Amino acid sequence: MAELVKKIISPVTSQNLLGTLANLKLRSLIECNSDGFTVQNDLKEYVTVNLNHRKQRFLFFDKITKYIIEWHGRKYGA
């Protein structure tokens, strides 16, 4: 699992991370508190809705692709 995470998540320098957090704070997308950072509810909702739409599109195109492959197999006897 750790190897998979290394491949998916690119390493970030501390300077880059701090700069990104500062920019998010300036845009009011995160809040700082004694425990660290929290994400604004609007941002959470946007990300959730966006991921849900992407998932629905993926599932839709996956079904279409499977149907086309099955149809192609029946048509050409494969």
Residues 2 and 35 in one domain: yes
C-alpha neighbours within 13 Å on the C-beta side of residue 38: 8
Q: Which residues of 19-39 are buried (b: 16+ CB within 10 A; e: fewer)?
A: eeeeebeeeeebeeeeeeeee
Residues 21 and 54 in one domain: no
Residues 46 and 17 in one domain: no
Domain limits at 27? Answer: 1-39
Residue 75 confidence (pLDDT) above 70: yes
Residues 34 and 44 in one domain: no
0.75 surpassed by pTM: no
Residue 65's pLDDT is: 92
**Continuous H helices in 9-40:** 14-26
Asked whether 27 and 39 are in contact (CB, 8 A), the reply is no
CA 13 to chain centre: 21
pLDDT tens by residue, 30-63: 888 888 888 888 888 998 999 999 999 999 999 9
Residues 26 and 44 in one domain: no
Q: 4 pLDDT band (50/70/90 cuts)?
A: low
Q: Give me the number of domains the chain comprises.
A: 2
Residues 76 and 44 in one domain: yes
Residue 34's pLDDT is: 87
